[in-house]
Homo-oligomer: A and B are copies of this chain.
Amino acid sequence: MTLKTYLPILDWGRRYNRQTLTSDLIAAVIVTIMLIPQSLAYALLAGLPPEVGLYASVLPLVAYAIFGTSSALAVGPVAVVSLMTAAAVGRIAAEGTADYASAAIVLAALSGIFLMAMGLFRLGFVANFLSHPVISGFITASGLIIATSQLGGILGIKTEGHAMPELLHSIVAHIGDINWYTLAVGLVSLGLLLWIRYDLKNWLARFGVPKGVAAIIVRAGPVLVVFLTMAWSALFDLKGKGVSLVGEVPQGLPLLSLPSFNLDTIQALAVPAIIISIVGFVESISVAQTLAARRRERIKPDQELIGLGASNMAAALGGGYPVTGGFARSVVNFDAGAATPAAGAFTAVGIAGATLLLTPFLAVLPKATLAATIVVAVLTLVDFSILKRAWTYSKADFVAVAFTLVGTLIFGVETGIALGVGASILIFLYRSSRPHAAIVGQVPGTEHFRNIKRHKVDTVPGVLSIRIDESLYFANARYLEDLVTDQVTRNPGLTDVVLMCSAVNAIDMSALESLEAIRHHLDDMGVRLHLSEVKGPVMDRLAGTEFIEALKGRVHLSQHQAMQAISGRSGEDEQAVPLPSTVAG
């Protein structure tokens, strides 16, 4: 039972049959074709040799197949995590050095350990603090940064930095170094890739190619562009004309090796590893949940953490760099019919084969082709519509999006996301510290009580019913005190105040002190304090406190019962004492 929880393969493996095998194999072929150029390109984006992208697309996929719960998630190098890797590793090592590559391996190992620990301790909820606006702003900004950084590759000039100001500055500074052959390769690749993505399908349809075949050709398009530009490069000696090529790469797959940890590297990479882990997890879980919902499947967030943790540990062992579940690739995997996580393992076999076959030819591949591949891939990440939607829905969400977007563009990925999370938490705290409150009255003909400002309601003279729309806690405790005191001094004829607690989900000790102060204050003024609709968990705590013991009024099950009880009693009082309004008058 427990073993099956931690090793989902034991579950779906038992039900594996010829039909699922066929589905998985077809999906694996399509994803492999898509993954080859992407993994080369993303490694380059991460500042690593392109073959590292292939290494990161073998073992991690096998690990996810064993530990993961999503049947459609395609794990491997992705754009945003590659950018974050470059930003993190670039701070402690120079690109192209052995230190750089081994730091990337350590980063993958740390990320794997962290994800695994989060999964084992069931800390997946931490990822919830990356709100939707923050993620959207972050992904759009990352897309823009990545596209800009690849401009250099297409123009054949060097770019520096992982945030907009440095990138733009380095492009402007080196604009004179444009290599026109590189630019030609870059623009042709870009044009072809865009044409393949947006027009090829319709074009093939016109020639009567069946839809299924057309879809596969479209997926294979980027690989064809890679082969085309390799041929161009070899035939016309682009290297001699100053075009930057991938160059010699070691043949085959690297041997398994343990990452070489040292304390300085770990200290420098711990925080980036945590951020990369959380961002990667959120990206991965979002697509996994979306795809699972379409098939009425459930994925288990805590087990997904373990699956992604295992993938990153595998990436470290196999000479790769941090990986996660990619959005576009997973959708392709899903559409191609991947039935179980085994599809990922078959993809790994495909990539391993491709690595053995391709490496001899990679030497002549122009880097501009890979830059174009990245630009086309990240175009889908950039989505400004979130700004407009957030603006329309809520200014607070807009501030969170804008803050993250601008922060990431200017200060880079880590600071940007920290600013976004910080801003969204502060906004939440600020809003809950100034809660909405309403004076309520009875909706005629019902037992329902609503805001007197929004609904036609009946009120009882001498009784003030306040509905406070927030849990009561330290940040708003004093606010409540002020509100009640203010209302009571404004209504001198009062005999009873009812706090309708239907929206009060918790009362902490600071708020309890405030309630005591309110009670004291009302006692002094001869006004009874009542509570109504106090929720079970809140009442459990309040029961037995001095506040409740000394309450002159009562705790009523519903606001309606509170009003009935008070009106009834007021009626009796009228015989004995003057009317409340007379007392005050």
- Footprint of B on A, CB under 8 Å? 125, 128-134, 293, 296, 298, 301, 389-390, 393-394, 396-397, 424-425, 428-429, 431-436, 438, 443, 446-448, 450-451, 453-454, 469-471, 473-479, 485, 502-506, 508-510, 512-513, 517, 520-521, 524, 533, 535-537, 541, 545, 557-558, 560-561
Rounded to whole angstroms, the CA-CA distance of A557 and B436 in the bound complex is 19
Q: Which of A397, A436, A509 has the most CB of B within 10 A?
A: A509
Nearest opposing residue in chain B for A136, CB measure: B509
Instruction: Verify B560–A503 contact, CB threshold 8 A.
Output: no
Cβ–Cβ contact A509 & B397, under 8 A: yes
Q: Which residues of B contact A390 (CB under 8 A)?
A: 509
13 A-B interface contacts by CB (under 8 A): A125-B433, A129-B429, A129-B475, A131-B508, A132-B474, A393-B512, A424-B474, A425-B429, A431-B506, A438-B535, A447-B448, A448-B561, A503-B504
Q: Give Cα A5–Cα B477 distance, bound, in whole angstroms.
A: 25
| Copies per complex of this chain | 2
- Output the nearest chain B residue to A501 by Cβ-Cβ distance: B503
- Interface of A: prevailing SS: helix
The answer to whether B394 touches A541 (Cβ under 8 A) is yes
Which B residues are in CB contact (< 8 Å) with A524?
A: 293, 296
Contact status B393-A451, CB under 8 Å: no
Min CB distance A119 to B, Å, is 16
Q: Of all chain B residues, which has the CB nearest A477?
A: B128
Please report the C-alpha to C-alpha distance between residue A125 and residue B433 in the assembled complex, in whole angstroms: 8
Leading 4 A-B pairs by shortest Cβ distance: A131-B474, A132-B510, A447-B447, A448-B558
**Is B128's CB under 8 angstroms from A470's CB?**
no
Q: Which residues of B contact A393 (CB under 8 A)?
A: 509, 512, 541, 545
In the bound complex, do residue B520 and residue A476 qualify as a contact, i.e. CB atoms below 8 Å apart? no
User: Once the chains bind, are A435 and B505 in contact (CB under 8 Å)?
Assistant: yes
Smallest CB-CB separation from A545: which chain B residue? B393
